[in-house]
C-alpha cells in the first residue's frame, strides 16, 4: 500500500475537521503498533531478524505518535505528515516481509513448557498475524481518511493524456 509522492499535493486540501479525525486515526495506529510490539517482545524474540523487525515496529509506534503531534500543530505541516506516512507504509512492508518467515516451530522450548507460558494467551504466529492485520487496517484507515489514496489516484489520472485504445 505504498503511496505516491503525488499525495503531498492532495493532503493540503484536507479540512481542519478532517485533520481532527486524522489525529485520532494516528493514535489508533500507535495503539495497534504498541500491541504488536508487546506480542513480538514477549513471544517472538527467537524469530529470524527479530531485532531488525522489532526496531521497525517500534519505529511505527513512535512515528504514529509523532504524526499525531504534527497534526496538532497550527498550522499542521501537512507535507511533513505525508512524508512520515510514506515512511510508515514502508516500515509496515518491512515488518510484514520479515514476519512471513516466522513460524511456531521456532517458539522457545523453555518458554513453551514453563507454567508462565501456559498461563499466557497468544504466543503463536496466528495471534501475531492478527495483530499485524489490525495494524495494517489502522494504517489503511489513516491513509484512506486523509483522502490520500483516492485524490492521489484522480490527480494522477487527470494529469495524464487519455489512453490509446
Ligand atoms: Zn517527521
**Domain limits at 67?**
12-149
Instruction: Tell me which residue has cell 483516492.
Output: 150
pLDDT recorded at residue 152: 45
The rounded Å distance from CA 8 to ligand 1 centre is 14
The rounded Å distance from CA 109 to ligand 1 centre is 41
The rounded Å distance from CA 83 to ligand 1 centre is 7
**Does 58 fall in a domain?**
yes
Per the structure, the count of domains in the chain is 1
Contact 71, 23 (CB under 8 A): yes
The rounded Å distance from CA 47 to ligand 1 centre is 30
Q: CA–CA separation, 155 vs 136, rounded Å?
A: 25
Whether residue 77 has pLDDT greater than 60:
yes
**Does 59 fall in a domain?**
yes
Report the range of poorest mean pLDDT among 23-27, 55-59, 102-106: 102-106
**Does 158 fall in a domain?**
no
**Does 93 fall in a domain?**
yes
Model-level pTM? 0.73
The rounded Å distance from CA 63 to ligand 1 centre is 7
Q: CA–CA separation, 165 vs 159, rounded Å?
A: 18
Over residues 139-151, mean pLDDT: 72
CATH number where 21 lies: 1.20.120
Amino acid at each position: 500500500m505504498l503511496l505516491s509522492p503525488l499525495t503531498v499535493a492532495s493532503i493540503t486540501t484536507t479540512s481542519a475537521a478532517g485533520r481532527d479525525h486524522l489525529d485520532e486515526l494516528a493514535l489508533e495506529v500507535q495503539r495497534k503498533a504498541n500491541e504488536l510490539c508487546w506480542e513480538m517482545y514477549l513471544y517472538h524474540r527467537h524469530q529470524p531478524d527479530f531485532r531488525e523487525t522489532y526496531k521497525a515496529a517500534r519505529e511505527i509506534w513512535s512515528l504514529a505518535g509523532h504524526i499525531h503531534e504534527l497534526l496538532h500543530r497550527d498550522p499542521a505541516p501537512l507535507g511533513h505528515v505525508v512524508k512520515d506516512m510514506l515512511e510508515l507504509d514502508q516500515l509496515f512492508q518491512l515488518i510484514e516481509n520479515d514476519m512471513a518467515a516466522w513460524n511456531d516451530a521456532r517458539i522457545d522450548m523453555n518458554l513453551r513448557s514453563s507454567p508462565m507460558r501456559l498461563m499466557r494467551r497468544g504466543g503463536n504466529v496466528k495471534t501475531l498475524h492478527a495483530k499485524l492485520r489490525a495494524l495494517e487496517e489502522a494504517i489503511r484507515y489513516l491513509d484512506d481518511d486523509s483522502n490520500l489514496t483516492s485524490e492521489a489516484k484522480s490527480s494522477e489520472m487527470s494529469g495524464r493524456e487519455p489512453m490509446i485504445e
